[in-house]
Structure 1
Amino acid sequence: MTTVTLPPGPSSPRFVQGAFALTTPFRGMRRMRARYGDAFTVNVPIFGRAVVISRSDEIKQLFTAGPDLVENLQPNLGRVLGSGSLFALTGEEHRKQRKLLVPPFHGRRLKAYEEIIEEETVRELASWPEDRPFATLPSMMRITLNAILRAVFGADGAELAELRELLPPWVSSGSRLAVMPIPQIDLGRWSPWGRFWMARRRYDAIVDRLIDKAAGEDLDERDDVLALLLQSRYDDGSPMSRDQIADQLLTLLTAGHETTATTLAWAVERLRRHPEVLSELVAEADAGGDALRQATIVEVQRTRPVIDLVGRHVKTDGFRLGRWTLPKGYTVLVGITLIHDDESLFPNARAFDPHRFLDAKPDLYEWIPFGGGARRCLGAAFATMEMNVVLRTLLRDLTLTPTTEPGERWHSRGIANAPAKGGRAVVRRRNSPPVPPATATVAGARS
């Protein structure tokens, strides 16, 4: 028999630990690390018995372990995105699907999407009010939704108008339901799950119509993801089924929408509280550069990660993970905020300082907003490019007014963690007449 070796942790009942995790998600994790060390064992609803780790060598070992040892975290978004979603697939099926989905989001394809993103950003920024505070998160949601819809489905049309209406509330409810028990009976419109499934059936019908339309077109002339998936083939020459295409497109739409928009809202929130960085970014954008802007995107994701936990499910008894030996059925959770706060990796870690990434790319086992290993976010390159284009356009067209207000608190939207006030901004068009600066807007950089 293999001897199980687990890190220490609280002994309180599962419901008590669950309540603690829900009411103090970030402070609670930090308190646990302060008390038990960089790894600890918890027992919480949904995940059950789990080990939380935050050391880069153990994270690397977890992310590089084979699917015979660990698999995707359970439960996951596959519960709401469909059985054909990358989140739901494991082993060889996951590898095969991921191989088909990589080409649309890399290389020259990314360049083709830049113009779409800039167009959507310019359109949305034109609606922003001047000289009064407003939440930017809804705007960022519209930009990223419209951009990913156009990248996935191509040109505008009646179906895309339907999806624009359907998807935002569907994503919002899905991110909350993803960690809730699935009922055995469909109560239709009388329950959250019933309404969720009704919207999913409506989505499937829209995608069916889009596939029918695409079948009558020259797909070689199209750059959108739907056209590429319709042309893609597995190693044995077989095409993806309609259900598989619908599930994967929904995965791309949801994963490439809310998290990117939320990070952009956090970027606005951070930059308004760090006027020196903001001033440097404006000067760099005017000069046509982007090094500091890219570093800023990395630092926003380090200090305000939208997803706080990623993990794996242990499939075999006696799984050795660094100092620990874990039994089958355990969950391993990677504390993203914990490792991003590690002073040994990021000196003065609580400070917002993009300059730390100007001359050094982040280590992908220490900076993990996109997860890691074979399940690292497929759209990481697309999301990074999109954030870069949106921020470039914002800095070029608008003046973002700094503030001395305290930083916005974290607010859970189910899966994603957003600024509680929506990343509030005060802006002016850069071609507008200048106004006298407020007396207390240029404060020192604050975390």
Structure 2
Amino acid sequence: MSQKEIGVGLLGMGTVGRGVYRILNDNKDGIEKKTGAPIVVRKVLVRDTDKNRGVKTREGLLTTDINDILNDPDIDIVVELLGGINPALEYSLRALDKGKSVVTANKDMIALHGKELFAAADAGKRDLFFEGSVAGGIPIIRPLKECLAANRITQVIGIINGTTNYMLTRMSDECLGFEQALKEAQSLGYAEADPSADVEGYDAARKLAILASIAFNTRVSLDQVHVEGVTRITAEDIVYAANLNYVIKLLGIARDSAEGIEVRVHPTLLPKNHPLASVNDVFNAIFVTGDAVGDVMFYGRGAGELPTASAVTADVMNAARNLVNGSTGMIGCTCFESKPVKSMGLTSTEYYVRLDVADKPGVLASIAYIFGDNDVSLASVIQHTTGKSAELVLITHEVLEKNLQEALTGIKQLPVVNEVSNVIRVEGRKEG
């Protein structure tokens, strides 16, 4: 038998908020049967009540006053979809303090203030759900916290930014340059007018901080994530990678080892037969390794109105179901360990290095000498003459980051080296 209505207050009716409103209304009968109570949106906080949002709303639904939601005893769940930190954090904390459960898709807020929010939810014995904050419609937060909880997770590797994945796919498929691919992504609405959060890697870094904190039971802050974006990737790099049987992806990589955690976001060469190599366009995928389950991969649309709204609405349903049953649901903060985070210099991987050098005898030997002097071993070398100069593309064996950087410092000082054009890490060759 259905219980009393569960009231919802939406904070924001942008792209995702509109999607949540639509799903709750379009699928209300099935949602009621699955949760045990009807879920009704009672109020929506907006900046302008007169703006056309492309959905039909009843009179009195929209408000510009947050107190209309926070002080309404018939609103049980607050869905925060404003984005950013302020006023989203203030409103979420106030909602929890007033005994309301909170659902959010705000990766910035969770990455930077998760500890504070979990403490408030625990104090009020209410739910804090945030599945939509990472990878849109792909379920990953709940699987890490619950379905894979019996495992010791050793790594989480993923394509967690759809904008850059679309751009790199287009650069690969159509030999587009970076600027061309970016303009195309902006014209299709995949990239913002200011694309820096995506192309500089910060969006992926926020998501990785959340995933690593959950996977490794240790709070990982955003400033502990090493971040490099895709702005230096050129059509030449794409072609060389393809000729070497690789593709280039912006990856978030988190690994746990006896020496500590490594968390890094950067462009990566992946063998074409790696499971993540075929994830193209705006799709996301997250590859998780556990000691019991082995390897599992989560794949789907990482952004957009309905995919993200799907995750948010499912969280609303879970919170509603818990209210019906008089309980709280998904386990809260699991950061009960304090594992150290490795400095980037102590991580090790293989590298792709592209150099512009003088086209004369002995150049490769002088470069190889400096590499060898810093314990950097070369796996392969490609030389391409461009006229007065030559281009060298080198793939190293696995080496410590600090050794590679020390070698590059010496190589840049060689008079025969015009430029270190690019350095990109290589992953997955052993698996491939």
User: What TM-score range do you get, normalising by the shorter chain?
Assistant: under 0.3
Does 1 or 2 have the higher relative contact order (CA < 8 Å, sep 6+)?
A: 1
Structure with a larger share of its residues in helix: 1
TM-score with structure 2 setting the length:
0.26
Q: Radius of gyration: which is bigger?
A: 2
